[in-house]
A = this chain, B = another copy of it.
Amino acid sequence: MIGRGGKAACLVAGLAVALGVAAVARADEGMWPYDHAPVEQIRQACGFAPSQAWLDHLRLSSVDPGASAAFVSPDGLILTNHHVALSSVQRVSTPEHNYVRDGFFAATREQEIPLPGNTLKVLVSIQEVAARVTAGVKPGMSPAQARAAREAAITEIEAECLQQTGLKGEVVALYGGAHHDLYRYKEFTDVRLVFVPELQAAFFGGDWDNFCYPRWDLDIAFLRAYENGKPARVEHWLHVNPEGARDGDAVFVSGNPGRTQRLKTLGYLEYGRDLVYPERLARTQHQREVLRGYLARGEEQARRGRTLDYFYGNTLKRVEGELAGLRDPRLMAKKQADEKALRAAVEADASLASRYGGAWERLAAAYAWAAAHETDRLYRNEMPGGRFFGTALNLVRLQTEAARPDLDRLPGYHESELPDLLRRLGSPSPVYKDMEEVMAADAFRRLLGGLGADDPFVQAVLQGRTPEDAARFYLEGTRLDDAAVRRELAKDGGRGVAGSDDVLLALARRLDPLLRGQEKAFRDNVRAVEESAETDIAQARFAVYGDKAYPDATGTLRFGFGKVAGYPSATTLVPPFTTWYGLYDRALSFGDRGDFTLTARQRERRDRLDLGGVLDMACTADITGGNSGSPLVDRDGRLVGVAFDGNQTSHANQFVYDETEARCVCVDVRGILQALGTLYDARPLVDELLAGAR
């Protein structure tokens, strides 16, 4: 659903490099694959053991719109976050109908607005395919060879799935590649907008309050899946519990956490702390400043750049949090102790030692290589100029890769990946050339400053122009901003690309060979080593600690649990819930201005609200970026809230799950129902939600 940034744009908890150091998950910890739900752990923590049918129902009610969501009525009604739907809503907004600013509610099905370019997925089945994936890996193979063998098997399995079942198949590598499963998805491509509140209500407090709690945000959106032009009839959907959850109640979360790296080695953390994160932080800060210069030009520019600005703000808080964690000596010491214990256990067993003992050294060598090639990583590993420029590289590569045997293609261009790529290339998401020019000029300046004018890569980009002139040259000359043009070029395996003299395509053609060389070197020397060594470490962990560990998040559907709970923060207590009173306090405390402005509805209908009613909620479920829009259910499987953020009370704690302070922040179902009924006159929606509760 996130058009621009994919999962990266809906990062939730600032936990993307979240590193769990406990050998065995503690109470409430873990993002569990549905086929490895820790039933006994849940029973101990919650006094309730979910049945298989209970788990299946929650899984089949869960929807992947690029982040997380859930069916909440038999007629395909879907609840997710406003910020998950934002790009799509922006795309169908116009100056006359500004749904982002004003919100939207379709009182009838006919009024529901199609959101083209969206795909929703439901995880239909999970099948273990580990043996088949690793069958081609033979002793004595180099890491690169082993990787190629696994990739070949994966490509074959995914293609076979689509062919045999018509379902999209995805081979999912878990436990650092120790396990592989085939996930089969039912897809919905006709998605329509039912309801969004005003951006200001959804994102009250703006970037300031993002990653914070307490919050008073109505970060919700209702969509509807259609099939054959009619609302999809779905068998599995979540009933609503209009009473919500109480403080201390067990809650369960289902969603698609994007990425955790809790099993990464100390060597990786040091590399990140010393090189990757400080640079990323500085660069993102700089990019945001540049963008804000553009935003300041006027209201229309501010509207155009809003999503990107939000993306930068979100990224900054996350990167700041991660870096603070990496710089916390206490955390590093903990990680060190954990790694030492695992390595000692491996060394103590001759068989484990011979199989896995070398993994850490191999990784250390890989990160040393990466550190030695830092300049390449910073300047030569992606198409410069921004995401839109990347589209040109996608088209050029589509043309060359589609003509090759599937197994020989670059990652991202395999047959099974082409539908996604084509959808992205053809997305009607508008390209604002003036904004792209500002950002591209900055990217070119950075390139020139980093590599110097004599560098071949720089020369290929600038061709003697200044960064500003080059950015203008490409953006004035290109027609790739037109989605129809891109679609036409992409047709039939990118056949039209070769004949185009578009200046951006020409740039991509010049850079492609240079980038391929760098990408291959990094793949072979770092990523392939990581995959192989981390597989070893994950397997070693299993050998030592058994199967009570959960795998790192990889963007696939996961199940979690926890309880509704406030927490101590610094020297005080943070409450488990927030009320509508707090919305008005925070707005008026700042003078009802800026990011803390009330909406007209909030101002005018205040007296109709039960101000003491619950609006948002905090719980201990273990989530991360990608969980945005995740349903929270009670032990009866009834919806009590929707996750939209994670708190950031303690940077030092965020690399290790710790239920003392880490919290998943949700819009409470009571807040949703009261808002719909009282502020938005959306009775039909309330009725549809409550039909199951009656």
User: Which residues of A are at the interface with B, using a C-beta cutoff of 8 A?
Assistant: 205, 208-212, 214, 247, 317, 320, 566, 570-573, 575-582, 584-586, 588-591, 596, 611-612, 648-649
Contacts and interface: CB of A to CB of B under 8 A. Distances in A.
Contacts of A571: 208, 210-212, 317, 320, 648
Contacts of A208: 571-573
Contacts of A317: 571
B584 A588 contact: no
Given A589-B577, A589-B578, A591-B247, A584 B611 contact: yes
Given A581-B582, A582-B582, A588 B572 contact: no
B581 A575 contact: no
Contact of A581 (B210, B573, B588): B588
Closest 3 CB pairs of A and B: A582-B585, A575-B589, A581-B585
B588 A579 contact: yes
B590 A579 contact: no
Contacts of A572: 205, 208-209, 212
Contact of A584 (B212, B570, B612, B648): B612
Q: Which among A576, A585, A586, A612 has the greatest number of chain B C-beta atoms within 10 A? A: A585
A591 B245 CA distance: 13
A598 to B, nearest CB: 10
A612 B317 CA distance: 31
B579 A584 contact: yes
Contacts of A573: 208, 590
Contact of A582 (B566, B589, B648): B589
5 contacts: A210-B571, A317-B571, A575-B590, A582-B586, A584-B611
Contacts of A214: 589
A580 to B, nearest CB: 8
Nearest to A313: B571
Contacts of A589: 214, 566, 575-579, 582
Nearest to A580: B585
Contacts of A579: 584-585, 588-589
Given A211-B571, A570-B648, A571-B212, A584 B581 contact: yes
Contact of A575 (B566, B580, B586): B586
Contacts of A580: 585
A679 to B, nearest CB: 17
Given A208-B573, A212-B572, A566 B584 contact: no
A129 to B, nearest CB: 42
* Copies of this chain in the oligomer: 2
Contacts of A578: 585, 589
Nearest to A593: B247
Contacts of A212: 570-572
Contacts of A612: 584, 588
A591 B577 CA distance: 9
B585 A566 contact: no
Contact of A585 (B247, B570, B576, B585): B585
Nearest to A649: B570
A578 B587 CA distance: 10
A593 to B, nearest CB: 9
A578 B320 CA distance: 29
Q: Which among A209, A247, A320, A589 has the greatest number of chain B C-beta atoms within 10 A? A: A589
Contacts of A585: 578-582, 585
Nearest to A578: B589
A572 B210 CA distance: 8
Contacts of A584: 579, 581, 611-612
Contacts of A576: 589-590
Nearest to A575: B589
Given A214-B589, A317-B571, A577-B588, 12 more contacts: A208-B573, A566-B590, A575-B586, A576-B589, A577-B589, A578-B585, A578-B589, A579-B584, A581-B584, A582-B586, A582-B589, A585-B585
A588 B247 CA distance: 12
A30 B317 CA distance: 34
Nearest to A584: B581
A573 B206 CA distance: 10
Nearest to A617: B589
A617 to B, nearest CB: 10
Q: Which among A247, A578, A580, A588 has the greatest number of chain B C-beta atoms within 10 A? A: A588
Contacts of A591: 247
Contacts of A581: 581-582, 584-585, 588, 611
A580 B582 CA distance: 10
Nearest to A320: B571
A589 B214 CA distance: 10
A577 B591 CA distance: 9
Nearest to A209: B572
Nearest to A592: B612
A586 B214 CA distance: 10
Contacts of A575: 586, 589-590, 596
A522 to B, nearest CB: 32
A437 to B, nearest CB: 31
A678 B570 CA distance: 34
A185 to B, nearest CB: 35
A214 B584 CA distance: 14
A14 B648 CA distance: 24
A216 to B, nearest CB: 8
A288 to B, nearest CB: 14
A49 to B, nearest CB: 29
A281 to B, nearest CB: 13
A572 B217 CA distance: 15
A612 B589 CA distance: 8
A596 B582 CA distance: 14
A513 to B, nearest CB: 42
A590 B564 CA distance: 12
A644 to B, nearest CB: 16
A332 to B, nearest CB: 15
